[in-house]
Amino acid sequence: MSSGSTARLSLSHDVYEPSAVREAAEAYSDHLNVQILSSSSAETEIVVRHLGGDLLPEQVLDEFLNHVLDLSVRRKLRPG
């Protein structure tokens, strides 16, 4: 992923919570534009575009995905 370019990803709901995707997209809105293309019962498909800045596009995307994973795991494994 280079500056200004886009990455298209399918996030399985077995791992990633749709609400976590939305929350992380909001948190990274200064660096990334995250567009949710579709969301089925099984997965959410997104397109991520780097908006520029000091951080490398690849690194921002990886940080974003880690954040989605963190939020998702916390929600999925929350007791009760």
Partner 1 sequence: MRRESGDARPLRATADEDALILLVDESVYSREALLRACYWFTDRCYLFVSRSGPNVFSVRIRAKAKATDLGTISGEFENALVDQQVRQDIESETSRLRELIVAKAFAEGQGLDDAPGGDVRDPVEVAKSKTDGKP
47 binds partner 1 (CB under 8 A): no
- Based on the shown chain and the rule CB under 8 A, indicate whether residue 15 belongs to the binding site for partner 1: yes
Q: How far apart are the first and last CA of the chain?
A: 39
Q: Is 2 in the site for partner 1 (CB under 8 A)?
A: no
CA distance 57 to 46: 16
CA torsion angle 15 39 6 59 (round to 10): -20
7 binds partner 1 (CB under 8 A): no
Binding site for partner 1 (CB under 8 A): 9-12, 14-16, 62-63, 65-66, 69-70, 72-74, 76-77
